[in-house]
Amino acid sequence: MPLLPGRNINRSAPAWGAESAGRHRRRLNWAPRLGAAVMLAMSVLGAAPAWAADGDSPVRWSVGPANADGRDGRASFELVADPGERLEEHLAVTNLADRPAVFVLQSADGYFTEEGRFNMLADPSQSKDAGTWVKIESEVEVPAGETVVVPFEVVVPANAEPGDHAAGVAAALVRTGQGEDGSADVGVVSRFGVRVMIRVSGELKPGLEIHQLDASYQLARSPLRPGAMVARFELVNTGNARLQVTGTVTVQGHTVQWPSAGANRIELLPGEARRVEAAVGQVWPLFRVKTSVEAVPQVVALEGVEVPSLPPVLANLTVWAFPWPQLAVLVGVALIAWAWLAGRSRAKRRLARLLDQARAEERAKLSTPAASPHRVVQR
């Protein structure tokens, strides 16, 4: 599939682009410091059209894996090599503009961001691993509307450790202009590149651990509805193989999967870590609530290479979840019931007193003798 400029094409292993780092500019003497300016000003996030040197029209371009004759349909470089081996590869740089352009070519160590996107170091001189293994020309001029195939080598050191190593190779467009003092004003608009994954032969020892597991209970707005448990943890690749990780969080029999639908998959290079957060709904605050996390790692398979399997990694945590709203409702209901019962009891006692008083008065009347009639005697 041809690569479009400034847009990810393959979700599993996309070429990646870079937007301008704002108006990041650095005034430098052109010849001796161009390389430093390129390295310092580079940014690799996003994707957008880059602009030609004079700014009159946009220059759009794309890059992709190729053979000596042109693009070969691969989305990225997935290589297997022995320590000390030299591999020959090709990068196709396509200029989609109506004017020629000169692109700076560079390589650097690769990594995955917290958002799960592949990136490479902005400053190639900071590379310490596979980014230093890639040997490519410093620049290439591509005529308008054409593609130039650039050969490069991957030279694996004889002492390279077995396992997966990541790098990126990119084509960047440099804009130049005159400063007020006549010096060259140099800035990098963007770069667009491809990831280079190298698996050095030897024993693969994959490993995954769950660190810093934490969870917190979130009360629902209504005390008559269940809340949610939010689990947070860190996945750490402790082995030497690239992993793809999925998993679940289970609370009170309710299970959610992570990463969620539509999110970037979790892929970890050796030594990398990734923070994960997952929320489980329909959870009642029953004081002590158990939260279970399961991570299922899978070693990324390369053609012709057998990979070991890993068992799921489990972690549990019990969290206090106090049902304060429900307790408040119960207390309120109890107070209302108590007040009603107390009022009813007082009414009964008052009625009993009135009845007792009435009976006492009636008994008093009955116990008093009647007065004798007086006779009048006339003499």
pLDDT digits (tens, 9 = 90+) for 328-362: 777 888 888 888 888 888 888 888 888 888 888 88
Q: Tell the burial category of 222 from Cβ atoms under 10 Å away from its Cβ (0-12, 13-18, 19+).
A: exposed
Looking up tokens 């005697």 gives 377
Last residue of a domain, which of 279, 294, 325? Answer: 325
Q: Are 173 and 190 in contact (CB under 8 A)?
A: yes
pLDDT at 44 > cutoff 90: no
What is the torsion angle, in degrees rounded to the nearest 10, for the CA atoms of residue 124, residue 127, residue 129 and residue 134?
Answer: 20
What CATH number corresponds to the domain at position 92?
A: 2.60.40.10
Based on the fold, state whether residues 220 and 174 are members of the same structural domain. Answer: no
pLDDT value of residue 155 = 98
How would residue 298 be classed by pLDDT, with cut points 50, 70 and 90? very high
Based on the fold, state whether residues 214 and 241 are members of the same structural domain. Answer: yes
Q: Which two tokens stand for residue 120?
A: 């490479």
Q: Is residue 379 included in any domain, yes or no?
A: no
The pLDDT of 181-207, averaged and rounded, is 81
Based on the fold, state whether residues 189 and 240 are members of the same structural domain. Answer: no
Q: Which amino acid is at 297?
A: P
Tell me how far apart the terminal alpha carbons of the chain are, to the nearest angstrom.
150
Higher pLDDT, 50 or 114: 114
Based on the fold, state whether residues 191 and 248 are members of the same structural domain. Answer: no
pLDDT value of residue 7 = 31
Based on the fold, state whether residues 243 and 183 are members of the same structural domain. Answer: no
Percent of the chain past pLDDT 70, that is, above it, reads 78
Is the Cα torsion angle 264, 107, 243, 269 positive or negative in sign?
negative
DSSP for 22-41 reads TT--EEE-HHHHHHHHHHHH
DSSP element (H, E) containing 186: strand 184-200
pLDDT at 309 > cutoff 50: yes
Q: Is residue 56 included in any domain, yes or no?
A: yes
Query: For the segment 256-281, what is each residue's pLDDT rounded down to a tens digit?
Result: 999 988 888 899 999 999 999 999 99
Q: Is residue 230 included in any domain, yes or no?
A: yes
Q: Is residue 92 included in any domain, yes or no?
A: yes
Q: Nearest 5°: CA angle at 16, between 199 and 193?
A: 70
Based on the fold, state whether residues 219 and 195 are members of the same structural domain. Answer: no
Q: Is residue 152 included in any domain, yes or no?
A: yes
Based on the fold, state whether residues 24 and 145 are members of the same structural domain. Answer: yes
Based on the fold, state whether residues 182 and 36 are members of the same structural domain. Answer: yes
Q: Tell the burial category of 304 from Cβ atoms under 10 Å away from its Cβ (0-12, 13-18, 19+).
A: exposed
Query: For the segment 121-154, what is each residue's pLDDT rounded down to a tens digit?
Result: 999 999 999 999 999 999 999 999 999 999 999 9
Last residue of a domain, which of 180, 200, 220? Answer: 200
Q: Is residue 113 included in any domain, yes or no?
A: yes
pLDDT value of residue 62 = 93
- Classified as helix, coil or strand, 11 is coil
- Classified as helix, coil or strand, 267 is strand
Based on the fold, state whether residues 194 and 224 are members of the same structural domain. Answer: no
How far does Cα 107 stand from its chain's mean position? Answer: 25
**Among 99, 112, 126, CA closest to 42:** 126
pLDDT value of residue 322 = 85
Q: Is residue 158 included in any domain, yes or no?
A: yes
Q: Which two tokens stand for residue 343?
A: 């009022």
Q: How many residues does the chain have?
A: 379
Based on the fold, state whether residues 132 and 236 are members of the same structural domain. Answer: no
Mean pLDDT of the chain: 82
Based on the fold, state whether residues 189 and 224 are members of the same structural domain. Answer: no
Higher pLDDT, 18 or 119: 119
Q: Identify which of 100-104, 179-183, 295-299 has the greatest average pLDDT.
A: 295-299
DSSP annotation of 300 reads P
Our separate counts of H helices and E strands in the chain read 2, 23
Q: Is residue 373 included in any domain, yes or no?
A: no
pLDDT at 33 > cutoff 60: no
pLDDT value of residue 187 = 55
Higher pLDDT, 159 or 340: 159
**Among 210, 230, 197, CA closest to 297:** 210
Last residue of a domain, which of 163, 182, 200? Answer: 200
pLDDT value of residue 311 = 96
Domain count, the chain: 2
Based on the fold, state whether residues 125 and 66 are members of the same structural domain. Answer: yes
pLDDT at 379 > cutoff 60: no
The pLDDT of 302-321, averaged and rounded, is 92
User: Phi/psi at 179 (nearest 5 deg)?
Assistant: -80, 175
Q: Are 267 and 116 in contact (CB under 8 A)?
A: yes
Segments forming the whole domain that contains residue 132: 16-200
Tell if the pTM clears 0.85, that is, is over it: no
Round to whole Å and give the CA distance between 300 and 199. 10
